[in-house]
Structure 1
Amino acid sequence: MTNLERQLSQYAAYHLDRSNIVTHFVGIPLIVFSILCLTARASLDISGFSITLAMLLIGLSSIYYITLDKLFGVLMLILFIVAYPLAVKIASLPMWTWLGASAGIFVVGWVFQFVGHYFEKKKPAFVDDLIGLAIGPLFVLAEFVFLLGFRKSLHERILKEAKMKRAAMDMKTRTVF
């Protein structure tokens, strides 16, 4: 099993309910975008070129995603590049407008997340493993790629492993009581 399969199956074990996955298609992009908005305002000028904290986050997370899977990593980088200019526009708004918009997007994203976990009847993955915060965006991208009918064998392997992990989690929960 590859590291990608391990990470995505661990995350998927908390996300087997279709309604939960659908809410994540909205919530996670909103959360990621809000983080880009919040960090696009912090910058450092080097030789007339402004490097924002958002750029650094995009670069580091893209490197991480590419190490897990080249195709998914490049697709994530493309999505970040597409979203970045709008994040910069929001970051250039007056302080309270920028902060209110960014925080509002963040909160709405998390509301979608928690509604989804209500359907799932499972806590979010990051509660047990903080890497879930980084894997969430990749999970949504992978689910979209799978929904389009691509990389079926990868999807099958992840789903099979996720169901086994979920069964183990459920057994552990039952034995506690």
Structure 2
Amino acid sequence: MTRLERLLSQYAAYHLDRKNVTTHFIGIPLIVFSVICLTVRASVFLSGYELTLALVVLTVSILYYLTIDVFFALLMSFIFMFAYPYAYGIAQWETNLWLSSSVFIFIVGWAFQFVGHVYEKKKPAFMDDLIGLAIGPLFVLAELVFLLGFRKELEEKVLLEARKQRLLMEQDETFSEMISK
């Protein structure tokens, strides 16, 4: 199993309900965009160029994604390339409007996330492993690629492994409930 298959399967084990995945198509992009908005104002000028914290975070994210899968890293780079200027524009707004808008987007994104997990009847993946916070955007991108009909072999492997992991999680939960009674 490749690293990509393992990470997507671990995340997908918490996201087998289609309604939950659908809420993540809205929630995760909103959260990522809000983080870009919130971090783009922190900047320094180096040799006449503005280096923002957002650019650092996005670059580190892409470098991490490159260690997982080049195709998805390039797609994510393309998405970030379009999202960054919009976030930068929002960061130019008056401070109260920029901050309240960015925080509002962040809260709405998380609301979608948690509503999705009500459908799933499972806690979010990051509650068991913080790497889920980095894998969430990759998962949504992979789900979009799968919906468009690409990388079907990867989708099948991820789904099969995710179902196995979910079964093991449910068995562990049942066992824990039996012991606590």
Per-residue CA deviations over 1:105-149 (Å, capped at 9, x if unaligned) read 000000000000000000000000000000000000000000011
Match of 1:162 in 2: 162
Per-residue CA deviations over 1:152-171 (Å, capped at 9, x if unaligned) read 00000000000000000000
The percent identity for this pair of structures is 60
Match of 2:82 in 1: 82
What residue identity is the alignment partner of 1:99? Answer: L
Per-residue CA deviations over 1:88-117 (Å, capped at 9, x if unaligned) read 011111111110000000000000000000
Shift of 1:176: 0.7
Shift of 1:47: 1.1
Match of 1:125 in 2: 125
Per-residue CA deviations over 1:17-69 (Å, capped at 9, x if unaligned) read 00000000000000000000000000010011000000001100001111101
5+ residue gaps, structure 1, are none
Match of 1:72 in 2: 72
Could you list the structure 1 runs, at least 4 aligned residues long, displaced by more than 4 angstroms after superposition.
none
Match of 2:56 in 1: 56
Match of 1:9 in 2: 9
What's the TM-score once normalised by structure 1's chain length? Answer: 0.99
Instruction: Count how many residue pairs are aligned between Structure 1 and Structure 2.
Output: 177
What's the TM-score once normalised by structure 2's chain length? Answer: 0.97
Match of 1:43 in 2: 43
